[in-house]
């Protein structure tokens, strides 16, 4: 361990120093009132990270209470490192999604890599082995060289970290919009598997029990990442914050996973917490706070990789791949022996004490003595002002008569298939190892990933979703649609939704319009989850996603996990056989507002999101599951971005075999472009053997679900006839070529 310099006098706490720590005058006065004195410099640093937006949720906490968090399968809801949902037979899945937006914009490779590492630690901290990763990514305009640089860096960071740790990245989503030019979003999801009697929580119980540091050495990377990087908007000084981005080591993470899982087999492990945001500070204060105890530390025992580190730097460092364990007294040497076996650093750095305080010594001197409750729970629940954004009065109106209806649909279809939000994401996911451990049943490229549960007949389906254009136009309905569509993706893959995690990405909460967007989105998620009986078991809030006063579109990303009791019932989106019939479950309305078609053909983001009839949505999903489980259908694909026509082409070209053509014969009084490219909700495109059509139609009538047979699979072309007239006629291989290469071609244009 590097030797530390002799402790120096702490800097004076002045109003300027307080402001530099991101604390307001009011917050500093509250600190003084709560602890009965002025904090020293190191203690000020502790308050700055623990009261930051990123750690305290001071702007969002009151709204999050609206979310439904309980259910018959929920074993652990929000409040721990991740949510836990029972899947039967003594097993549970542990999952969460969280953001690493600001670090990834400043240093894309390390920002994204450490986002993956951090979310995995949230999972195995609970005692679970990580078995799957997803990601939700948002970038700016692909024609911008900066966007291409960020895209390459983020994808490389995600792939290198996940691949090296042996955890498959099995799916996700990527959107591009100019609103993310100054602030990309990198949201990482991880799911793990655990025995229900082996779930570990972040607790520090048992007075006298030792506190053990586990993992990599502590350096100066990531200091104030939570408070000054993640809890403020970007400006001209953004690039200066590059040194605050953490540096990850996936090989150490892999060793840490195996070490922790071995330690969890011991009955003398009391509690564990990841040193994530705010590092040693948050892990120690939160573990003690959860147990009603205190902790006494000697920072001189912490393994360091840099010389001359101060107590302030050690406590606020966000160096990666580190954990804090509490074990029963007398078992310290056993724990350290396991660490040594795996080649990890470890040290007894403190003990649990009865008094609910954290006392920290360094080089023989007490540097911190703080009561736990004010630090963990003392941040103000800010009731920030809210107001409906003025822009809505302009953008929510759309007069369809102003939009010329095209005589044919070929041009629009080609343009949509070549649009970044619809075109193939294969360039991205081909860099991910999605088959490691051989449990992946459905690979990236379908509506949802499907993972086998080892040594069982079960599987889980995973999907992540958010249409941020809808949320910009109406955050309440946009958020509901995100829940509905994500659940629909799970259903199309054969799963029953059993739990949800969210990552709420918004601009500066100090602006009333942003807080209104946030409130509406949370209310939308809450209403949809209550209706569909999907509990919210974990999540993350990311605010200040704003650069030079320009906020991102509100992006309340949701990830849903579904259960397949019989893995043989999994389903994929692509057509399987020439001669099969094509059917549409659900109702198509004359809706173009907020669509990708409107953006690509008319360069508008305008109108209100598509209608969502939640009762019909539920009926459509239940009917689709009935068809999948009864082996009635060969494929099922959600109609979303690009509408029915894009869904049909995707069903033709996304399978592992040669592309199959299709012919659609439609009868409708709607505008032809709305019929084909509108994004009406609650619609699923299915295929099935021709002889089953009459029976499926009869079942649909019984279930009171709209259903129509609309075409047939086969041939080498994609043809659409509307009311007897040809509207689209294209070679299917030519469409696949347009769809397949756009993102990769752009990404390779890096200067």
Nearest CA among 468, 486, 491, 423 for reference residue 609: 468
Helix (H) or strand (E) holding 117: helix 108-124
Structure tokens at 70: 């309980």
- 269 pairs with which residues across the strands? 327
How many Cβ atoms are within 10 Å of 301's Cβ, its own excluded? 16
Side-chain half-sphere CA neighbours of 743 within 13 A: 23
Q: One of 21, 100, 109, 224 is an active-site residue; which one?
A: 100
Nearest CA among 72, 293, 95, 92 for reference residue 202: 293
Spell out the alpha helix ranges (H) of 544-613: 596-602
Are the C-beta atoms of residues 681 and 593 closer than 8 Å to each other?
no
Structure tokens at 288: 């003690």
Alpha-carbon dihedral 283, 156, 463, 100, rounded to 10 degrees:
30
Q: How far apart are CA 30 and CA 382, in angstroms?
A: 13
Q: Report how far Cα 175 is from the mean position of its chain's Cα atoms.
A: 13
Side-chain half-sphere CA neighbours of 374 within 13 A: 22
Structure tokens at 535: 């509990």
Q: One of 21, 54, 102, 109 is an active-site residue; which one?
A: 54
54 as an active site residue: the answer is yes
Nearest CA among 138, 234, 135, 238 for reference residue 179: 138
SS (HEC) of 439-478: CEEECECECCEEEECCCCCCEEEEEEECCHHHHHHCHHHH
| Contacts of residue 189, Cβ cutoff 8 Å, sequence gap at least 6 | 95, 96, 97, 119, 133, 134, 135, 136, 172, 462, 464, 501, 559
CA angle 352, 357, 360 (to 5 degrees): 75
DSSP annotation of 232 reads S
- Angle in degrees, 0-180, between the axes of helices 145-165 and 732-747, rounded to the nearest 10: 90
Q: Report how far Cα 425 is from the mean position of its chain's Cα atoms.
A: 17
Nearest CA among 604, 613, 612 for reference residue 469: 604
- 80 pairs with which residues across the strands? 78
Structure tokens at 351: 């003990």
Q: How far apart are CA 35 and CA 28, in angstroms?
A: 11
Q: How far apart are CA 632 and CA 609, in angstroms?
A: 32
Q: Report how far Cα 448 is from the mean position of its chain's Cα atoms.
A: 14
Parallel, antiparallel or unpaired: strands 357-362 and 294-298: parallel
CA angle 287, 291, 295 (to 5 degrees): 55
The three-state secondary structure class of 550 is strand
Helix (H) or strand (E) holding 326: strand 322-327
Q: What is the DSSP string of 478-490?
A: HHHHHHHHHHHHH
Q: How far apart are CA 102 and CA 256, in angstroms?
A: 26
Structure tokens at 170: 């099995």
The three-state secondary structure class of 130 is strand
Helix (H) or strand (E) holding 341: helix 332-342
Cα–Cα distance list, 650 to 430, 580, 719, 738 (Å): 18, 16, 14, 12
Spell out the alpha helix ranges (H) of 454-595: 468-473, 475-492, 512-532
Q: What is the DSSP string of 46-84?
A: HHHHHTSHHHH-TTTHHHHTTS----TTEEE-BTBSSEE
Catalytic site positions:
54, 100
């Amino acid at each position: 361990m590097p030797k530390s310099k002799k402790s120096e006098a702490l800097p004076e706490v002045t109003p300027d120093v307080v402001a530099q720590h991101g604390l307001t005058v009011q917050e500093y006065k509250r600190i003084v009132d709560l602890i009965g004195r002025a904090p020293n410099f190191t203690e000020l640093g502790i308050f700055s990270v623990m009261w930051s937006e990123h750690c305290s949720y001071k702007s969002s906490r009151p709204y999050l209470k609206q979310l439904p968090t309980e259910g018959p399968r929920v074993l652990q809801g929000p409040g721990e490192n991740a949510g836990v949902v029972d899947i039967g037979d003594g097993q549970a899945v542990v999952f969460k999604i969280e953001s690493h937006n600001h670090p990834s914009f400043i240093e894309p490779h390390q920002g994204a890599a450490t986002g993956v590492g951090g979310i995995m630690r949230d999972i195995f901290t609970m005692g679970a082995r990580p078995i799957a990763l997803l990601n939700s990514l948002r970038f700016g305009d692909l024609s911008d060289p900066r966007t291409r640089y960020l895209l390459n860096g983020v994808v490389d960071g995600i792939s290198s970290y996940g691949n090296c740790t042996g955890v498959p990245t099995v799916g996700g989503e990527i959107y591009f919009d100019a609103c993310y030019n100054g602030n990309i979003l990198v949201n990482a999801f991880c799911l793990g598997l655990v025995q229900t009697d082996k779930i570990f929580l972040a607790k520090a119980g048992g007075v006298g029990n030792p506190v053990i540091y586990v993992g990599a050495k502590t350096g100066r990377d990531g200091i104030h990442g939570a408070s000054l990087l993640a809890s403020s908007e970007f400006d001209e000084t953004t690039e200066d914050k590059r040194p605050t981005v953490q540096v990850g080591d996936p090989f150490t993470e892999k060793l840490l996973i195996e070490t922790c899982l071995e330690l969890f087999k011991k009955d003398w492990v009391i509690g564990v917490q990841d040193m994530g945001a705010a590092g040693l500070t948050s892990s120690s204060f939160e573990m003690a706070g959860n147990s009603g105890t205190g902790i006494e530390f000697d920072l001189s025992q912490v393994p360091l990789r840099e010389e001359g580190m101060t107590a302030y730097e050690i406590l606020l460092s966000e160096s990666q791949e580190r954990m804090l364990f509490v074990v029963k007294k007398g078992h310290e040497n056993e724990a350290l022996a396991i660490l040594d076996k795996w080649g990890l650093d470890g040290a007894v750095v403190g003990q649990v004490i009865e008094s609910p305080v954290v006392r920290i010594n360094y080089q023989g001197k007490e540097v911190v003595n703080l009561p736990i409750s004010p630090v963990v729970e003392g941040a103000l629940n800010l009731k920030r002002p809210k107001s409906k954004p003025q822009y809505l009065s302009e953008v929510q109106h759309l007069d369809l008569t102003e939009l010329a209806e095209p005589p044919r649909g070929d041009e629009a279809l080609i343009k949509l298939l070549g649009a970044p939000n619809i075109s193939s994401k294969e360039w991205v996911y081909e860099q991910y190892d999605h088959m490691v451990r051989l449990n992946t049943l459905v690979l990236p490229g379908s509506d949802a990933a499907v993972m086998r549960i080892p040594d069982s007949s079960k599987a889980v389906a995973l999907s992540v979703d958010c249409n941020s254009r809808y949320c910009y136009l109406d955050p309440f309905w946009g958020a509901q649609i995100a829940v509905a569509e994500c659940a629909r993706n799970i259903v199309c893959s054969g799963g029953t939704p059993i739990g949800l995690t969210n990552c709420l990405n918004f601009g500066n909460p100090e602006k009333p319009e942003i807080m209104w967007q946030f409130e509406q989105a949370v209310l939308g998620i809450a209403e949809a989850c209550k209706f569909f009986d999907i509990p919210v078991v974990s999540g993350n809030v990311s605010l200040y996603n704003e650069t030079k006063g320009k906020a991102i579109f509100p992006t309340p990303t949701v990830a849903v996990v579904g259960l397949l009791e019989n893995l043989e019932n999994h389903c994929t989106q692509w057509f399987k056989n020439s001669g099969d019939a094509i059917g549409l479950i659900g109702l198509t309305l004359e809706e173009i507002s907020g669509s990708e078609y409107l953006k690509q053909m008319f360069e508008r983001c305008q109108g209100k999101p598509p209608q969502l009839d939640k009762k019909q949505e539920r009926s459509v999903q239940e009917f689709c599951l009935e068809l999948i489980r009864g082996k009635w259908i060969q494929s099922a694909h959600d109609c979303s971005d690009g509408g029915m026509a894009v869904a049909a082409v995707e069903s033709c070209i996304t399978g592992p075999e040669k592309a199959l053509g299709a012919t659609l014969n439609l009868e409708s009084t709607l505008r032809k472009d709305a019929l084909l490219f509108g994004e009406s909700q609650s619609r699923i495109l299915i295929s099935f053997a021709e002889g089953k059509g009459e029976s499926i139609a009869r079942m649909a009538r019984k279930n009171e679900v709209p259903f129509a047979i609309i075409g047939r699979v086969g041939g080498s072309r994609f043809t659409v006839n509307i009311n007897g007239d040809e509207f689209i006629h294209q070679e299917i291989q030519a469409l696949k070529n347009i769809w397949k290469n756009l993102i990769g071609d752009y990404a390779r244009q890096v200067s």
